[in-house]
Structure 1
Amino acid sequence: MSETTGDAHPDGSRKRVTSWQIRQWWRKNQWLAIGWLWLAAGILGFVGFARYFAALGQSRSFGDLLYLTIQLFVLESGAVEGPAGLELQIARFLAPAVAASTAVLALALLFYERFQLLRLRWIHDHVIICGLGYKGLVLAHGFHERGDRVVVIDRDEDNDLIDPCRKLGITVLIGDAASQEFLALARVDRAQYLFAVSGDDGANADVAVRAHAHVSKQSGPTLNCFVHIVDPRLCDLLRKHGPATDKDNRFTLQFFNVYDTGARAVLAQHPPFDRGPDGEPHLLVAGMGHMGESLIVLGAAKWRAQHGEANERLRISIIDRNAGELVKSLVLRHPQLTTACELVPLTMEIPSPDFVRGDFLFANDGGCDVTIAYVCLDDDTAALTTALALRQKVKEDGVPIVVRMRHDAGLATLLGGLHGDDSRFDGLHAFGLLDRTCRPELVLGGTRETP
């Protein structure tokens, strides 16, 4: 069960979502739509003139009709004597309107790009975000709210997240963030922070290398570079060396990972070590992607730190369609887990008949055997469905269920708003991964366990 950190457009009312979808469609298809309008105006004008002259008993050649039609777009041929048919009536208004709209749109695009580049000539102490996924969007929004000036670089001109950024007044450059050209355009030599947050670790590292090469050639303030590494273990290995600083103090490099940071925050907010009926805690992790792995590894480390001398092992049950293989791989990478934990792989689909029965939740005597459950699926709807299914089985036992969701908005907001109003949702706790881990103050502060 792989995890992603992509997400949907920020939730709002049905009207807001519809208007956003219309704007996105127009931004992607505006030139195609204008092309069709040009064609429609031309056809209507040609047919209209042909019928007009036929009604007068006059014969005009194809070339004459085409020339008159073209003149409609510059207001040269629409004024005719006598009644004009419906086609010509529409065409002589539509054609100049389409021509004017095309000119205005072209000028707006031209001057917008020039204006954005002009603004960048004097920008300094700003934040550059390379990669406009949802991590990038949350970071851009957070820094913008702090009052920082933000520049975003993304190679995908059809990215649906460009429009929300530009609406906030954030400059968005379309191009390769790892190129010297776009780093120079973004004035990386004057920036305070640079974040490389695409989904590709290699691309993020390349951005950092190119940025370092660029700023090392020039004088200016220190550039603090933060590189997101998708693999939590690799990120931890890189981070153990501490922030890297070049000899001229022009560049510092730090690594972060939203899954690791999120797992720390979840464990701080929802401690996993409450004792069960048999006196021992029993954790359930549904979904063993990056977030699930981080919860297991960090939970084991906490347990070992608190109970290592007692030689007690923490029991963790793991549900995933490939649970057995994933647990073997995890133990190979973290051999210390075997001394701190008893890992119980439960290989099953979510949902499946075995999962729906929920036998894994109960001991042989029929009592609930799980003390806390963490749902770490990559899809918000699937995660909430899974959490509700677990809740149905343990609603009388007061087992807390923590649901990893993409944002604190949307389904997470719904879940929070229903606490106390609907007993079916008592004990369910939503954790918006990106909103909790991509806050500027949290990323800039490192990986401290924050509530």
Structure 2
Amino acid sequence: MSLLSDTRKRWFLLALLWAAMLVIGITGFIKQGSAHGVDRGTFDNLYLTLQLATIDYSGSSGPMNWQLQLARFVVPILAASTILQTASVVFREEFRRYRLRYAKDHVIICGLGETGARLATAFVAAGQHVVAIEPDAAVAARSGVAEQVDHVLQGSGTDEALLRTAGIDRARRIVVCSGSDAVNVQITQVIARVSASRAKAPVRCAVQLGSANLTGLLRSADLESRGGARISYFNLHERAARALLADDGPPAVEEQAVPHLMILGLGQFGRSLVLALAQQWADAHPGVKLTPTLVDPSARGKWEALRLQHPALDDVCEPTLVDLDLEVPDPDAIDDFLALLAQDPPSWVAIAVADETTALAQAGFMHQHLAWGQVPIVVRMRTQSGLGGLLQPLPDGAPALPGVELFPFLDRTCTIATVDGGVREQLAEAVHEDYLAHLAPDAPTSSLARPWAELTDADRELSRKRVDGITADLDALGLDLVPLRRWGAPEVTLTADEVDQLAGRDHQRWFDDRTAAGWRHGEVRDDEDKRNPLLVPWEDLPDDARSFNRATADELLPMLARNGFEAARR
């Protein structure tokens, strides 16, 4: 229930109580006057009733009836409540700003457009305190979240003073989604500068970028520490493509069979879907090429651009490219396309065009020319409501169009999981999985020996620090962490000396962390007394412990490759 609704209810309740007390008070004074032979007019009795609010009235000193006994206690309370309620309305803004001074571990959202408003609602629903920053008052009003979040500050996220007012030095995370890539990057730079002196753990900053290409280019920068901020970039089209494949993707096929997949629309979402399909196929069927059909008014040109950005596509995909605009089709082109559908019908269709009306029209077209309800057709729509509601099941549970499924783009991407899924977080999870894989069966019980989803945020922070250490270790060897452009084994091979250096640096980092936490060397491990026999310099470490560290270092580059990165020599 919104704060506005609660406020109105309180005013309505106060009005009812005032009406009831005025009736009771006036009735009591009328009865008192009659008992003592005092003739008062209606306004006199009303005046005396109102005097009860100040605990001072000039009525008779004779015995009071029950109405006056009740009124003289309740009316002052009502008066005080009314004053407090009025003050809460008049000074609400000041109260909220005052509370911001003490806010901590909250979420700051810069931008209340479609993405920001939905993420704000998601964080509030998860029990998080949210402070929003939005320069346009009209946008903030349309977002409908002003009464849900703790406070909405009007201004730009590029304003250092406003970020400090929002409590950036005490916030747990920041989400930047202003709607402009240039502005978002500028806000990121200000956040890095403002949080440079932050004493707490680095604030996690997720930055939305509308361009999937730009997101890819900044992936390596995603891993860099920026003062007191850990910055990650996310793109809704990329996340949406992976979400669609995870839940509504092509049905399972036999290992040797190559499905005929068709994608209509090669905008940002369509191109991201092609790339995600190719990566998924390459992982599941190495050496076998996927043969999708790609339909777009500029299918050939967009495919060539995609190949330039991702050369590995040539090793994975051999598409059929159809330059066709289904809104204004060329007669010969549409005949060729219909012949293609008849000769080699697809086994799965994704309609990835951004315009909802066009998407619905293309869904209807494909539904008419394919086997009735036998070919899954997934249609991208903004949300489940609006035009997307036309594809919702009928009241009796029957599908609106058999075989046609709705994919609500914003509903599936504007989630907490989306902003949590930055590169650093992905690698931190991979590091933890690597730790679990190398954990000895007889290892002592530890709070870390659990799946990533079950860890506390403090436990996850250890893996995040490990990722920070990985980038520093690679840097020390003259290696940069860059987006993986070729799927498969990484091109760089570490020498034995480099593996030894990585293992030694990893041990030293563990040594420093344990020592800072109060651990000391001991001949026998004792968790209660914080003693560990491995708390010695790398040179004094037993051979079996060194071998373990070296094995972990050997697995570093394959682990990075599995998560879309590789090490490149400068």
* TM-score under structure 1 length normalisation: 0.67
State the match for 1:137 in structure 2.
Answer: 117
1:274 Cα offset (Å): 5.3
Counterpart contact for 2:112–2:132, Cα < 8 Å: yes
Q: Structure 2 vs 1, CA of residues 161 and 257 (structure 1 numbering), >3 Å: closer, same or farther? A: farther
Partner of 2:157: 177
Report the Cα offset of residue 420 of structure 1. Answer: 7.0
Greater relative CO (CA pairs within 8 A, separation 6+): 1
2:241 maps to which of 250, 263, 285: 263
From 194, 198, 216, the equivalent of 2:174 is 194
**For 1:161 and 1:440, how far apart are their aligned partners in 2?**
22
CA contact (8 A) 2:363 2:377 kept: yes
Taking only aligned residues, the RMSD between alpha carbons, in angstroms, comes to: 3.0
Q: 1:275 Cα shift?
A: 5.5
Within 5 Å, which residues of 2 pair with 1:348-359?
Answer: 348-353=324-329, 359=336
Structure with max Cα Rg: 2
CA distance in 2, matches of 1:422, 1:385: 20
Alpha-carbon deviation of 1:308?
2.5
Aligned partner letter, 2:178 = S
Q: Deviations over 1:234-293 (max 9, x none)?
A: 32343356643357xx321111111111111111223337559x9532221111111101
Q: State which of 209, 230, 249 in structure 2 corresponds to 1:252.
A: 230
Q: 3-state DSSP class of the match of 2:266? A: coil
**1 CA distance for matches of 2:94 and 2:267?**
44
Structure 2: how far apart are the matches of 1:150 and 1:306? 41
Residues paired across the two proteins, number: 337
Counterpart in 2 of 1:379?
355
One-letter amino acid matched to 1:298: A
Name the aligned partner's letter for residue 262 of structure 1: A
Please say if residues 267 and 352 of structure 2, whose CA atoms lie closer than 8 Å, have aligned partners that are also in contact: yes
The 8 Å contact of residues 112 and 143 in structure 2, kept in 1 or not, is answered as no
Which stretches in structure 1 are left out of the alignment for 5+ residues?
Answer: 1-106
Contact 1:189–1:221 (CA under 8 A) maintained in structure 2: no
Residue matched to 2:310: 334
Q: Which residue of 360, 364, 369 corresponds with 2:345?
A: 369
The structure-2 alpha-carbon separation of the partners of 1:241 and 1:133, relative to structure 1 and needing over 3 Å to count, comes to: same
Counterpart Cα distance in 2 of 1:428 and 1:334? 31
Moved more, 405-414 or 385-394: 405-414
- Map of 1:4 onto structure 2: none
Question: Which of the numbers 258, 266, 281 marks the counterpart of 1:288?
Answer: 266
1:295-334: CA deviation from partner (whole Å, max 9, x where unpaired): 111111222222232xx32122222222232222112212
Q: Which residue in the other structure is 1:166 paired with?
A: 146
CA shift, 1:202, in A, is 2.1
Q: Please list the CA deviations of residues 339-367 of structure 1 after superposition, one character each: whole Å capped at 9, or x if unmatched.
A: 21123332222323459957525548x34
Amino acid at match of 2:102: W
Matching residue within 71, 95, 100 for 1:120: 100
Cα gap change, 1:168 to 1:397, in 2 (>3 Å): closer
Q: Provide the C-alpha distance between the structure 2 equivalents of 1:184 and 1:161, rounded to a whole number of angstroms.
A: 23
Residue identity in the other structure for 2:308: L
Question: Equivalents in 1 of 2:101, 2:347: separation in Å?
Answer: 57
Query: Which whole-Å CA distance do the structure 1 matches of 2:142 and 2:345 have between them?
Result: 48
1:98-143 alpha-carbon deviations (Å, 9 max, x no partner): xxxxxxxxx9997444333223122111111111111101100000
Is this contact kept in 2: 1:406–1:432, CA < 8 A? yes
- Decide which of 148, 154, 178 is 2:128's aligned counterpart: 148
Deviation larger for 430-439 or 232-241: 232-241
CA contact (8 A) 1:132 1:161 kept: no
Q: Give the whole-Å Cα distance in 2 for the aligned partners of 1:419 and 1:399.
A: 23
Point out the more displaced range, 405-414 or 175-184: 405-414
Report the more deviating stretch, 312-321 or 419-428. 419-428
**Counterpart of 1:343 in structure 2: which amino acid?**
P
Partner of 2:414: 438
CA–CA distance in structure 1, aligned partners of residues 170 and 418 of structure 2: 23
CA contact (8 A) 2:96 2:150 kept: no
- Match of 1:157, as an amino acid? A
Using structure 2 for the length normalisation, give the TM-score: 0.54
Which among 183, 197, 202 is matched to residue 203 of structure 1?
183
Match of 1:47 in 2: none
1:439: Cα distance to partner?
1.0
Distance 1:418 1:156 in 2: 39
Shift of 1:212: 1.6
> How many percent identity over aligned positions?
31
In 2, Cα distance between equivalents of 1:156 and 1:169: 17
- Identify unmatched segments of 5+ residues in structure 2: 1-86, 430-570
- 1:229 counterpart letter in structure 2: L
1:360 to 1:381, Cα distance in 2 relative to 1, 3 A: same
Select the residue among 225, 229, 235 that pairs with 2:205: 225
